[in-house]
Structure 1
Amino acid sequence: MFPPLRLLLLVLFLGSGLWLPLASLAQQARRTPATLPGVCVVRLKAPASARGIASTDLLQSSPLQKALQQLGATQPRQKYPKALLPRAGQARGVDLRQIYQVRYPAGVPFEKVRQQLLQTGAFEYVEPLYQRQPLYQPNDPFADSTRASNTARQYYLKNIRAYRAWDFSKGDSTIVIGISDTGMRFTHQDLKGKEKRNYADPIDGIDNDNDGYIDNFRGWDLADNDNDATADKLPGYGHGTLVAGVATANSDNGRGIAGVGFNCKYLPLKVYPSTPTGYFAGFESIVYAADHGCQVLNLSWGDVGGRSQYEQDIITYAAVNRNMVIVAAAGNTNADLDFYPASYDHVISVAGSDVNDRKGKNISFSHFVDLTAPSEAILTTSFDHDSAYSSGVWGSSFAAPMVAAAAGLVRLRFPEYNVEQVAAQLRQTTDSLYTITSNTIYRHKLGTGRLNIARALALTDRREARVVREDYLPARSYFQPGDTVRLTVQVQSLLNPIHGLTVSLTSLSPYLTVRNPTFPVPSLTTLALASNTENPFELIVSPETPMATTAVLRYHFVGDNGYQDDQYVKIVLNPGYVTLTAGDLDLSLTSQGNIGYEATNPSLGEGVTYRSNLPMLSIGGLVVATSSRRVSDRLPNAQGKIDTDFTSLSAVQLLKAPRRGTEEAAGLFADTLQNTRPITRAGVRVRQHAYAWAEPTERRNFIVLEYRLTNITPDTLKPLHAGLYMDWDLLPNPAGNEAAWDEERRLGYVTERKNPKHYAGVALLRGGAPSFYAADNAAPADSAVRIYNGFSDAEKFRMLSTGTRNRAAGQTATGADVSYMLGAKIPQLAPGDSVMVAFAVLAAGTLDSLLTASTTAQTWYDGIALPVRPAQTAQWQLYPNPTSGLLYVLVPAGFAAERVIVLDGVGRTVRQQSWSAHQTSATLQLQGLKPGVYIVQLQGKEAVLTRKVLVTHP
């Protein structure tokens, strides 16, 4: 999408390539684009100088070298060493020299790699490499009733006014259109000789032009890293030849068809592999095209979902640093959705129309489409033989190269135009589609209209204003219910000067209101900027905003001489997670049971950090189970994917009026049962509540998480297990951690074995008999639990249900990459009944501090936050109360006590004694304690009973 905007996008639809048979949006939402196993890309944080050259010191830093060694990863390899730096004063450019590629063993979970590399402090992001798919439909001339009357005819040249356009310009060989696709049939009679040849590097086995590519005489195979961009006979292999023919087929040669670009050349860039070692290289091809003289690049491939900052960086480099126009297909799903790369900033997004200018069958639409071009019954060159043509292809794959060719003609006609101006000229010269009855329901979602190349080349009086920068205060990527946000924008005139311009901002969402919606803009000359810094727009987010709401804002431009235009932007409201930041421990809590990050999308969440340091938790979340076959969670599974058993019913939100903590958050989710057999989920509804404190000091390093579990099945759950799985990675050596269990405090914790700087853990505060299972994630393959080869339901249940026998992990000389499950066993839960399970997540600089924090958390939870249940307390006694010395304790009938503990006001244990199996009473000596209120805990196998006692002077 164009022009550049700092879009605040949340991935709402996660899908795979749309060249596959049409799937429902619900199915797409459960998928993510495929990634390349064992490879990630990273961007260095700090430049070494004002010129932006990345510092090699970060790459040699001890934390990074240790992390690479622990992961078994390669040294980072600079991915684009010859990339052009941003020009001086070019604020929106990007330095691709800061991007590196890292390889790691394919069996290591990406989440673990991401966490450990981010912990080094060297990188701004760590991302997978998505494998985008070609937008291809098979040749089927009888698939559409409109096709019969248009077979073997280039009707689309008339629709887009190409014949009239060629009176103004037929292009020439200096305009090169990159075709990033499946490869070409170079010998086709309508493509032969149209490829751009690199005479500076003839085929002689030498890199004559010193560009890093040997013999790249006619393009490059980026996927297999060789100089042969010929398509191989693999699935979809003919796609590139079809696309190239639309854009640049030979014209006036007395054969076949005429390419829209007429005399323009094309650069073949093969991005799909034909060898086992190859991989999708679409974004590498963008850099190659930008660095090798392409004025325009066509991308007829992509996916729903999987937004990537790395991919956006590549596009920003090509468009801003290198001034290359990028055109992309908007997708082939009959739905309003975001599609990548078409939905990135600096991309012209192209939808498709039929023979009669109606929205194309199964073509995507959205507010972020720039314009439309014909996409049905397209006659073009075919791969089958040297004189083969196909007349039955359809899809936005073939609309995009028409616009790419048009952009090439515009670049030649207006050589002074930058990429933003080329896009503006194409948008402002289209023919409206919205007068056609069937298109009215898609108003503003098919761009400005259908491509008209003749107008694009002939008209020189066009105007266009665009918002080219947005700054939000607070500066966040999402906003919570009840927030008030100030929005400052920069407006630019891209074509002719504009006078009397007014920008009005409106919200298309009922959950977002705009105050101060008008910005009167001073007169703007061409490429001049204006800002509403002194009087920003104000946005108010409704307190009733549902989870993961994407609000659309519309900028409406009105200027002199009847100029009107619209531009749209998305912002994310109530994204499905909150971050509690009251004390020394910060923790993100998601709406579907995860801690730190949403497991299906790690960009949602800010992790778990201690004193604003680097993230400590790789992945964490609630696990509920009744057997090894009925386990509910949102954690990795045996196949290396993410289980999605929990679904949000009410998004987690920070409470506006917290009662027991400085910050509190609450939400509701459930693991709704399937209609099929066998049932594989536990069958519970979960109400979560979290508490964090800024004061007093002793509560600043723990956060309490409550989970009220309700049985939503018709049967008694017997027994029910509930726990938190936590994969901690503590510095300085995340692969050298150890896990341990403190029985007295029901606390599981982790630290770095050789050089402990921090401790992190979870304590069970309430819920029943504890279970704790510590695991070495990279244990031998025959181990009872080994996370690196997949995390099965059987392993999750084993960790939840085997008591506290497996109390340690990583207790070797070097430690290990460890995780653990801390849970509680509820003997039974009847239909409709509820039970509370509560935990404290803790962090500290020393073990003593962690233990003290655990005791304090237990004291607060038992003595202050929760009232004592009458049914349990009526049968046990403390007397006398107040007391000046002796205290008598009587146990309730049937309560299996194990010990009695006395805690002071900050949670420190000041008295304790054990309890024998048949003991019914005990005497405690409190003499010598300072006068004040103390907490007495009667701890049993299944519960903890609590009472306050007042100690007075003797």
Structure 2
Amino acid sequence: MKIVRTLVWVSCLLLALPGLAAPPTRPGKLVLKLRASTNPLAADLSALLPALVALQATDLAQKFPHSALPSPERPGSVDLRRVYELTVPTGLTLTKARTMLLATGIVEYVEPLYLRMPQYQPNDPRADSLAGYNEYHLRLTQAYRAWDFTKGDTSVVIGVTDTGIRYTHEDLVGQVKYNYADPVNGLDDDGDGYIDNFRGWDFSNNNNDPFYNAFVGHGSQVSGIVAGATDNGKGIAGVGFKCKFLPLQIFPGTTTGSFAGYEAVVYAADHNCRVINMSWGGAGGYSRFEQDVCTYAAVNHDVVLVAAAGNTPGDLLFYPASYDHVLSVAATDEADAKADFSAYSRRIDLSAPGTNIIIVNGRLSSSYAGPPDADYWVGSGTSFASPQVAGAAALVRSRFPQLTAEQVVAQLRQAADTSIYTLPANQGYRGYLGTGRLNIARAVAALNQREARVVTSAFAPAKPFGYAPGDTVRLAATVRNLLLPVAGLTVTLTSLSPYLTVRQGGFAVGSLATLAEASNGAAPFRLAVASNVPPSTKATLRYHFSGANNYQSDQYVELLLNPDFVQLDAGNISVSVSSRGNLAYDDVTGAVGRGFSYRGSTPMLSEGGLLLATTPTRVATHLRSSSGAVQQSFFALAQIQKLTPGPRADQEARGTFRDSLPDPQKPRSVGVRVRQHGQSWAAPAARRNFILLDYSLRNLTADTLKPLYAGLFADWDLPGDAARNVARWDSVNRMGYCYDPLTPQVYAGVQVLGPRPAGVYSIDNSAPAGTPIYFADGFSPAEKYLALSGGFGRAHRSVGTDTQGTDASQVVSTLVPCLAPGDSATVAFAVLAAPTLAELQATAQAATAAYQQQQVLAAAPVAAGTTWQLFPNPTTGLVNIVLPTKLGAAAAQVLDALGRPVATVALPSGGGLLSLQALAPGLYVVRILGTSLLQRVVRE
């Protein structure tokens, strides 16, 4: 019952279970994939070199030089030869690296290398002394009956990616798949790039000895379940019976090694493993690299991938189990109830026993006094459910070698015992434990199952960042029949979310032969997003399949609704503004948001956002911190909303957030509420190159904030060479800006608006240790305060030279000298971009004029004792003005959006008609000359 994630991969990252920390990553390591190209690899790598030098990247290496190329006979196969690993400074942010590398135009993705962990919950090490335990899981899953149909085959090899194994154990020594083509002699006899890989490989330490070590023997335990020696009169029986296993160590157990699970998956696929078990993983942290590896094994090499669903008892995305092409396994107990530790979700494919499983003892215990390599114990975890399913997959492949990996998975799903959902203990988990509990005998007895699946879900319009309230969506589904031919097949789509309505949800497929496909692209499903959907809501849709012979099954697809940012893009600038004051992206990974671009350029702002501070320890931001994560100071009170058109601009954005009040636990808080407001224009041309941002700051504390610094941080990576930028200060226009001095394509900057003081602090991101702001170890609160407060003199205005730029950032700031408790003050900025410096300066002047005009309109009072009316508003041309009679005859002047007079009309006492028919549609201001009466009017 794996959920479909086609075309919504970014949503996966956004929908991690709240409260779960991001998975750990390998410090200083990134992985990138070059775009498909007709150029030689050497040419693409040469084009990539300037960005690598700028990032101070080293050790660029092809991750899988021996991987198989994609085959046209296997649609959807991937090319792993274009995947590279590199080393970068540990203080470098992912958003910075991603922005600079993607700006080359030859890189498809840039990601961290995640660290995934084994999924087991072992009992006390002495639990093997409890004689009452036995291999109940073999009886419950009907493995004994299954072995009457097949005992597996030694040619079917299961790759066990795990810790090292104790291959001297009596139940393991004879089950290892040895590579007789490469004996241990110091040579690469079989020419596969690995020397003496006779009994597997230790990828975590890069050697040929995957023997167990101090990291416990989790791999031995898993190996015994999946393929321990059976019918040998000793110990336990492995589900795979005669099937062999290939030990592949991925966890180091040393201080020098590193996690290497996905490298091992590629190796196993390349070395003819028909099944791969992955009893490890982590919550969250979707990775296109990891998905590519899973696709390579499953599609390029037709391997069945099986993974533990995780030991966090919640509905969450857990990888690799939640990736496409991976069979996800939850755990049940001796009574078929969900194990209390097991994950549960609609992404689970099926379940298997996972509590109190008799296993090979992974390491020799000092308390064990029996024969060597003959000890056992008891353990629990989805780690021990997954290898049962992997062993079952090996039996299915032995019994029915004609089945593809996709069909093997379907056979296992449909053979599962659905009766577990009749148990009272599982009533609350209906549909969340897959198709049921593993039944091996039914899976191998005969090919009498049916299963159709949606293999692609194409949403239109495609919005990988999520759908807004009120959106209508089309969904085209491609259905593939995997097992027996099915007649009278229908697919019905229903929504499990109150915020997503299915307006047309029927698809009459008809009859489908085995492996035949059908699509409803000509008459897609139709959906509607509710207008009141909360921010960042996960919506689940259910495909229900029904056909002849009582065939019924379900499948699910997710999408994100109401993403927590808006895009201001009416003019030449397109920038994401989040509910927490960030620009371009709302997170350090660069996944939440659509970035900052100018006239369709590549992303040119790796990180940006609001900074507030009163002291070096009272700093509020939602930007990077000294640990490389986000300094979480701002919390949304009212989600940012976009209005098109707005009352003052073609697009406007408004939202409210606040930081936590100062207390002993959070000493870096400032204590303000922020109302943010953004404006973007499509016309006139003078306004297309800037976006206005103003922030109303209210003091929520009992203290006077004196002074309160406010500024915008901008880490620019401009098109061309992102590490060859120069940062400068224009004191006339009160603007900090950056450009490439050798090949300038775009000038970009931030300007302080209004009467408050203006300053800039320019930062060399690659400056050595000992500089006042040293980005290699992050961006500390003290450094943020320095950047905000230290930019009002002549120092720190510039970095880089006109002959050699650098990787530059700026903090453009202003200050409120004194903000009393309960008082409010407004600070305002313009974010600008233009092709030349002269045009950027002209844009700054236009931004100043626009802001001044709005301040005049907002501040203009109505004369005491006078009232007047102007209607209709909006108008198609004629408006009626009603004035106090005591004014007598008057004159009405019309101003355009730039404050220029465009018409003047004499009015009799009491008012009269004013015609705007000769004017272009837009926003105007009507002013009664000789008075302070002003009113805005929209000409439609």
Q: How does 1:278-297 map to 2 (within 5 A)?
A: 278-297=257-276
2:8 maps to a residue whose letter is L
Q: Aligned to 1:183, which of 150, 153, 164? A: 164
Q: Distance in 1 between matches of 2:727 and 2:356?
A: 64
Q: Aligned to 1:686, which of 674, 681, 684? A: 674
SS in 1 for 2:830: strand
* Aligned: 1:90 with 2:77: no
Structure 2 counterpart of 1:174:
155
* RMSD (Å), alpha carbons: 2.6
**What is the CA deviation profile of residues 76-106 of structure 1, one whole-angstrom value per residue up to 9, with x for unaligned ones?**
4222122222221533211112212222233
* Aligned: 1:352 with 2:342: no
Structure 2 counterpart of 1:545:
533
Contact (CA 8 Å) 1:379, 1:391: kept in 2 or not?
yes
Which stretch of the first structure deviates more once superposed, 491-500 or 713-722? 713-722
* Aligned: 1:201 with 2:177: no
CA shift for structure 1 position 839: 1.3
Which stretch of the first structure deviates more once superposed, 815-824 or 483-492? 815-824
1:73 maps to a residue whose letter is A
**What is the CA deviation profile of residues 368-427 of structure 1, one whole-angstrom value per residue up to 9, with x for unaligned ones?**
100000010010101223435443311100000000000000111111111111111111
User: 1:767 and 1:255, CA in 2 relative to 1: closer, same or farther beyond 3 A?
Assistant: farther
Contact (CA 8 Å) 1:44, 1:98: kept in 2 or not?
yes
CA shift for structure 1 position 277: 4.0
Contact (CA 8 Å) 1:429, 1:459: kept in 2 or not?
no
CA shift for structure 1 position 695: 1.9
User: 1:678 and 1:634, CA in 2 relative to 1: closer, same or farther beyond 3 A?
Assistant: closer
CA shift for structure 1 position 679: 2.8
Q: How does 1:142-161 map to 2 (within 5 A)?
A: 151-161=132-142
Contact (CA 8 Å) 2:3, 2:347: kept in 1 or not?
no
Q: Distance in 2 between matches of 1:742 and 1:904?
A: 29
Structure 1 counterpart of 2:648:
660
**What is the CA deviation profile of residues 923-953 of structure 1, one whole-angstrom value per residue up to 9, with x for unaligned ones?**
xxxxxxxxxxx99xxxxxxxxxx999xxxxx
CA shift for structure 1 position 182: 0.6
* Aligned: 1:132 with 2:116: yes
SS in 1 for 2:694: strand
* Aligned: 1:809 with 2:799: yes
Q: Distance in 2 between matches of 1:529 and 1:904?
A: 59
SS in 2 for 1:763: strand
CA shift for structure 1 position 828: 2.5
Q: Distance in 1 between matches of 2:691 and 2:122?
A: 56
SS in 2 for 1:726: strand
Q: Distance in 1 between matches of 2:208 and 2:860?
A: 80
Q: Distance in 1 between matches of 2:76 and 2:173?
A: 39
1:733 maps to a residue whose letter is D
Q: Distance in 2 between matches of 1:873 and 1:71?
A: 61
Structure 2 counterpart of 1:931:
none
Q: Distance in 2 between matches of 1:719 and 1:100?
A: 49
**What is the CA deviation profile of residues 132-190 of structure 1, one whole-angstrom value per residue up to 9, with x for unaligned ones?**
111132332799xxx99874411111111111111111101111111100111010011
Q: How does 1:564-579 map to 2 (within 5 A)?
A: 564-579=552-567
Structure 2 counterpart of 1:268:
247
Q: How does 1:654-733 map to 2 (within 5 A)?
A: 654-673=642-661, 676-677=664-665, 679-733=667-721
Structure 2 counterpart of 1:560:
548
Q: Distance in 2 between matches of 1:865 and 1:193?
A: 83
Contact (CA 8 Å) 1:771, 1:804: kept in 2 or not?
yes
Q: Distance in 1 between matches of 2:305 and 2:194?
A: 23
2:529 maps to a residue whose letter is V
Structure 2 counterpart of 1:18:
none
Q: Distance in 1 between matches of 2:189 and 2:680?
A: 64
Structure 2 counterpart of 1:951:
none
Q: Distance in 1 between matches of 2:705 and 2:604?
A: 34
Q: How does 1:605-684 map to 2 (within 5 A)?
A: 605-673=593-661, 676-677=664-665, 679-684=667-672
Contact (CA 8 Å) 1:201, 1:208: kept in 2 or not?
yes
Contact (CA 8 Å) 2:693, 2:829: kept in 1 or not?
yes
Which stretch of the first structure deviates more once superposed, 36-45 or 242-251? 36-45
* Aligned: 1:480 with 2:480: no
Task: Give unpaired runs (5+ residues) of structure 1.
Answer: 16-24, 875-902, 909-933, 936-945, 949-954
User: 1:379 and 1:873, CA in 2 relative to 1: closer, same or farther beyond 3 A?
Assistant: farther
**What is the CA deviation profile of residues 777-805 of structure 1, one whole-angstrom value per residue up to 9, with x for unaligned ones?**
22232222222232111111111123422
Contact (CA 8 Å) 2:601, 2:719: kept in 1 or not?
no
SS in 1 for 2:265: helix
Contact (CA 8 Å) 1:767, 1:837: kept in 2 or not?
no
Structure 1 counterpart of 2:282:
303
Contact (CA 8 Å) 2:13, 2:591: kept in 1 or not?
no
Q: Distance in 2 between matches of 1:76 and 1:549?
A: 39
**What is the CA deviation profile of residues 898-929 of structure 1, one whole-angstrom value per residue up to 9, with x for unaligned ones?**
xxxxx999799xxxxxxxxxxxxxxxxxxxxx
Structure 2 counterpart of 1:6:
6
CA shift for structure 1 position 623: 0.8
Which stretch of the first structure deviates more once superposed, 369-378 or 605-614? 605-614
1:333 maps to a residue whose letter is T
Contact (CA 8 Å) 1:856, 1:907: kept in 2 or not?
no
Q: Aligned to 1:397, which of 356, 377, 383? A: 383
Q: Aligned to 2:586, which of 598, 602, 626? A: 598
User: 1:206 and 1:177, CA in 2 relative to 1: closer, same or farther beyond 3 A?
Assistant: same
SS in 2 for 1:58: helix
Structure 2 counterpart of 1:913:
none
Q: How does 1:874-889 map to 2 (within 5 A)?
A: none
Structure 2 counterpart of 1:369:
348
Q: Distance in 1 between matches of 2:203 and 2:72?
A: 30
* Aligned: 1:851 with 2:832: no
Q: Distance in 2 between matches of 1:745 and 1:381?
A: 74
* Aligned: 1:65 with 2:49: yes
Q: Distance in 1 between matches of 2:96 and 2:46?
A: 21
1:521 maps to a residue whose letter is V
Q: Distance in 2 between matches of 1:296 and 1:449?
A: 21
User: 1:75 and 1:59, CA in 2 relative to 1: closer, same or farther beyond 3 A?
Assistant: farther
2:823 maps to a residue whose letter is D
Which stretch of the first structure deviates more once superposed, 766-775 or 616-625? 766-775
Q: TM-score, normalised by structure 2?
A: 0.88
User: 1:412 and 1:870, CA in 2 relative to 1: closer, same or farther beyond 3 A?
Assistant: same
User: 1:654 and 1:344, CA in 2 relative to 1: closer, same or farther beyond 3 A?
Assistant: same
SS in 1 for 2:845: helix
1:105 maps to a residue whose letter is P
Q: Aligned to 1:519, which of 480, 502, 507? A: 507
Contact (CA 8 Å) 1:350, 1:371: kept in 2 or not?
yes
Q: Distance in 2 between matches of 1:231 and 1:120?
A: 44
Contact (CA 8 Å) 1:591, 1:651: kept in 2 or not?
yes
CA shift for structure 1 position 630: 0.9
CA shift for structure 1 position 265: 0.4
SS in 1 for 2:331: strand
* Aligned: 1:863 with 2:842: no
User: 1:406 and 1:299, CA in 2 relative to 1: closer, same or farther beyond 3 A?
Assistant: same
SS in 2 for 1:399: helix
Q: Distance in 1 between matches of 2:282 and 2:458?
A: 28
SS in 2 for 1:520: strand
**What is the CA deviation profile of residues 647-689 of structure 1, one whole-angstrom value per residue up to 9, with x for unaligned ones?**
2233323325423222222222221236544632111222222
Structure 1 counterpart of 2:407:
421
Q: Distance in 1 between matches of 2:817 and 2:860?
A: 20
Q: TM-score, normalised by structure 1?
A: 0.87
Q: Distance in 1 between matches of 2:158 and 2:792?
A: 65
Q: How does 1:76-115 map to 2 (within 5 A)?
A: 76-115=60-99
Q: How many residues align?
A: 864
Task: Give unpaired runs (5+ residues) of structure 2.
Answer: 365-371, 865-894, 901-923, 926-931, 935-940
SS in 2 for 1:245: helix
Q: Distance in 2 between matches of 1:631 and 1:214?
A: 55
Structure 2 counterpart of 1:921:
none
Contact (CA 8 Å) 2:30, 2:113: kept in 1 or not?
yes
SS in 2 for 1:522: strand
**What is the CA deviation profile of residues 244-279 of structure 1, one whole-angstrom value per residue up to 9, with x for unaligned ones?**
111111011111000111111000000112454421
